[in-house]
Amino acid sequence: MKKFHDEAVEKIVKEPGILGIEGLRSEKLLYPPIKFPQLKKEGQETGDIILIWSSLPGEWEILVAEVKIGARRHPGKDFLKLKFTFNYLKNCWRKWFESIKLNLPEGYTLWIRTVSLSYAGKALWEQPFKSEKRIRIF
């Protein structure tokens, strides 16, 4: 299962458009994809992928995704796992942006989208089942 999980993460990193999120394409990424991030403490759950992209003019978005491979589809259950990352980024996004040398332009808004993805019964080249939450933080 771990091999398939890692392949699914890699597929999304190479082709973020597979997520079916309007406007999300590789050329809109503002920073290289971060796989298996450790934002605060080593070993704490932070999702499988973080993408930072420009969703619309004047708008940046941090997308945090948790990928599941298995026989059952359970999007939404992983929001508890993603809550740590959401809370950390909501409170510490400026510090985190400084650490990766990004600066939100003046007048821009910043959003966080947490996405739970499930490949239950699907091939890696198909769009996964997803459940998501998007909130403006700045």
Q: Tell me: the pLDDT tens digits for 39-81? A: 666 555 567 899 999 989 999 999 999 888 876 655 555 566 6
Q: Per residue in 82-134, pLDDT tens?
A: 888 888 889 989 999 999 999 999 999 999 999 888 877 777 777 778 888 89
Per-residue CA distances from 118 to 41, 76, 127 (Å) = 26, 10, 9
Q: So where are the chain's domains?
A: 2-136
For 114, the token pair is 């947490």
DSSP 135: E
Per-residue confidence band for 6, with pLDDT thresholds at 50, 70 and 90: confident
